[in-house]
Chain A
Amino acid sequence: MSIDWIELIIVVVKALIVAFGLLIGFAYLTWFERRLVGRFQMRIGPNRVGPAGLLQPVADALKMFFKEDFVPGQADKPLFIMAPGIAMSAVLISFAVVPVGPSIRLFGREITLYLADVNVGMLVVIAVLSLGVYGIILGGWASNNKYSLLGGLRGAAQVISYELPYGLSLVGVFMLAGSLSLKDIVEAQARVPFIVLQPLAAIVFFFAAVAEANRSPFDLVEAENELVAGYHTEYSSIKFALYFMAEYISMIVASALMVTLFLGGWQGPFLPGIVWFFIKLVFMLFVFVWIRATWPRIRYDRLMAWSWKLLVPLSVANILVTAGALVLRDMGVF
């Protein structure tokens, strides 16, 4: 088997662009969030470092690097070091199957704007994201601290509970698109984005995605007034930064998935596909920050009840209705 070297180089370059893009995206997402939350709370937000505070993320990164990297004496050292890496790599990998635009022609070659088009695409994303919780549970356990352990336990319970509506809400989308590949799902939305056909699924998926990313109002994993800082209480310096990055990048991934699955992906009039993708992505990120700035954290039993008693039945009902409508359409009723 001969290897197509140019093809290999293209894949490596695309992987590097995705990885660095997500890291830069993380840095400026923190700036975006702090500026926006500042406005929401009638203050200004960081605006001193560079024009409009644009160099603030750089300053923060430098500060993080020079902090002492501390490992507690009683911690399980290998696991303690491994855990933030697991959290980080899981979210980075999950972006690989998201198409950010239609394929483009460059130097006479067809270049696709995604890393991999797996025919079980969306399932890969769900599986990889479910690995991310190992970062939380291992970090919580390895720290040998009761607050960390409680945070880790909460994380595990929350992610398992919300994985169910997360996956179930997408079944309707899969049925409409007739495929699990994200590329096919985007192409199936050429005429109508799925948010119009599957509004319930979009809402359920969005809530589940916010919970999976451990974002407010579902951030009980790190509820600071109960658990100090939850699973990352004992983490400092760059290991803490890795956890922080994992949370923000999973927010980017969740927004990208919302765009791809429900908002028609890169499709839109006039502007090129990749620009549309970014406009929609920034809009979804704004919604994430908006929710964080306006909703208080919900109580833990409510969190569980929400998933099991509300979101799961709703998504099952959505599957039934979608399947019924599809059968009626095939019979020619409408």
Chain B
Amino acid sequence: MSLTQAVFILLGGMAVLGALGMVTLRNLFHSALAMILALFSIAGIYVLLEAEFLAVVQVLVYVGAIAMLILFGIMLTRDIVGRASAVRNRQWPLALAVSAGLLAVLAVALVRAAWPLATYAPAQGGVADLGLALMGPYALPFEVASVLLLVAMVGALIIAREARE
């Protein structure tokens, strides 16, 4: 077993552990922290794949901002901090069915896929190529995604405002 494999198993194990912790821990704050562990391990896997930029953005956006907002939301919600919440509710059979279905689809896809190796060397430099791609061939999807985010933000503002009146 090479060093890379050992590190991958460690990081993968941490990610799985974090994901399990997120759904099983009874304290909401602790499950959010377990999710951060999972997100962080995934950033580590990106480093292992030599995708430095992706790893840094994963930490910056998911760990540094999104997870922080989730913690913020939990801390601002009344009567949630410190109280142990139930892990299951009445919808658990439905959730089980949906997850089992998803697992089946993913498993079939994983087994059937051919996993071809790339015949060309991966692009070097990363950031510059990514920038050119976003401004060139992928400019339209990039702009559409930003409009989507804007719509979501305005929508959230409107919902929050109506509740106050």
Residues of chain A contacted by B127 (CB below 8 angstroms): 119-120, 180
A sample of 24 inter-chain contacts (CB < 8 A) reads A1-B3, A119-B52, A120-B52, A120-B127, A123-B53, A123-B57, A127-B56, A127-B57, A127-B59, A127-B60, A127-B63, A130-B60, A130-B63, A131-B63, A131-B64, A134-B68, A137-B68, A138-B33, A141-B29, A153-B75, A156-B68, A156-B71, A156-B72, A157-B72
Question: When the two chains form their complex, are residues A144 and B82 in contact, meaning their CB atoms are under 8 A apart?
Answer: yes
Which positions 242-277 of chain A face chain B at CB distance < 8 Å? none
Is A160 engaged at the interface, CB distance under 8 Å to the other chain? yes
Residues of chain A contacted by B68 (CB below 8 angstroms): 130, 133-134, 137, 156, 159-160
Question: When the two chains form their complex, are residues B56 and A153 in contact, meaning their CB atoms are under 8 A apart?
Answer: no
Question: When the two chains form their complex, are residues B75 and A149 in contact, meaning their CB atoms are under 8 A apart?
Answer: yes
Kindly count the residue-residue contacts between A and B in the assembled complex, taking CB atoms under 8 Å apart.
66
Residues of chain A contacted by B56 (CB below 8 angstroms): 120, 123-124, 127
How many chain A residues sit at the interface, stated as a range, is 20 to 34
Give the 4 A-B residue pairs with the shortest CB-CB distance, closest first.
A130-B64, A127-B59, A127-B60, A123-B56
Residues of chain A contacted by B29 (CB below 8 angstroms): 141
Which positions 52-83 of chain B face chain A at CB distance < 8 Å? 52-53, 56-57, 59-60, 63-65, 68-69, 71-72, 75-76, 81-82
Is B126 engaged at the interface, CB distance under 8 Å to the other chain? yes
- Interfacial residues, chain B to chain A (CB-CB below 8 A): 3, 29, 33, 36, 52-53, 56-57, 59-60, 63-65, 68-69, 71-72, 75-76, 81-82, 125-127
- Interfacial residues, chain A to chain B (CB-CB below 8 A): 1, 79, 118-120, 123-124, 126-128, 130-131, 133-134, 137-138, 141, 144, 149, 152-153, 156-157, 159-160, 163, 180
Residues of chain B contacted by A180 (CB below 8 angstroms): 127
Which of chain B's residues has its CB closest to A123's CB? B56
Residues of chain B contacted by A119 (CB below 8 angstroms): 52, 125-127
Question: When the two chains form their complex, are residues B65 and A131 in contact, meaning their CB atoms are under 8 A apart?
Answer: no
A114 → B minimal CB distance (Å): 16
Residues of chain B contacted by A128 (CB below 8 angstroms): 59
Residues of chain A contacted by B69 (CB below 8 angstroms): 160
Residues of chain B contacted by A157 (CB below 8 angstroms): 72
CA distance A307 to B7 in the complex (A): 40
Which of chain A's residues has its CB closest to B76's CB? A153
CA distance A155 to B5 in the complex (A): 38
A152 CB contact (under 8 Å) in B3, B75, B82, B125? B75
